[in-house]
Structure 1
Amino acid sequence: MPESKPRKKTASTAPQASSQTYKPNPVWFKPVMFGLMIIGLFWIITFYISEGRFPVQAWESWNIVAGFGIAIVGFLMTTRWRS
């Protein structure tokens, strides 16, 4: 039985080098990222420990949403973190 010939690699099938070069994040990126996560956590903890008097008494239970919102921004920054 005859064997098939191997295909020649053309420019379209050859692996291409990425045209984008990824630069590392700026120096401030990691401290801001971790800082937002920690501030959000402390916001929620402060709300529970103070029984709703702090950080913003007028917001009542919306303080939990604010704390989670701050922390989520920090967690979303982790998707853009490059070394």
Structure 2
Amino acid sequence: MPKSQVRKKKVYTPPTDIRPSTTAQSKKPSPVWVPASAVALIVIGISWLVVYYLSEQQYPVAAWQYWNLAIGFGCMVASLGILSRWR
């Protein structure tokens, strides 16, 4: 039985209009304040919640009642938003 011919494969090159741009801005590292502020917000959020629970809802602000939970968790969610910008 005859042997089939081996075909050479073409090297794929993506079209130039679809190729992602490689600018200096996309490769630039994040500023130092990005991870520092994210860690600070995480620590503030956790400490806010810990103080709220350990003080039996008297501190940080007793008049805000359950809004203290929203502030603590809001700080932690804000830190996730900041960390999404970190390169």
Question: Is the structural similarity TM-score above 0.5?
Answer: yes
- Unaligned runs of 5+ residues in structure 2 are none
- Unaligned runs of 5+ residues in structure 1 are none
Amino acid at match of 1:55: P
* Alpha carbons of structure 1 residues 22 and 8: separation in structure 2 relative to 1, 3 Å: closer
**Cα offset, 1:35, TM superposition:** 0.1
Q: Structure 1 segments of 4 or more deviating over 4 A?
A: 8-11
Are the equivalent residues in 1 in contact too, given 2:42–2:76 (CA < 8 A)? yes
Percent identity over the alignment is 35
Q: CA RMSD in A?
A: 2.3
Q: How many residues align?
A: 80
Q: Which moved more, 1:3-12 or 1:52-61?
A: 3-12
Partner of 1:19 in structure 2?
22
Partner of 1:37 in structure 2?
42
CA deviations over 1:1-21 (Å, ceiling 9, x no partner):
3443423545628xx564243
Amino acid at match of 2:54: I
Partner of 1:7 in structure 2?
10
Which has the higher Rg, Structure 1 or Structure 2? 2
- Name the TM-score, length of structure 2 as normaliser: 0.73
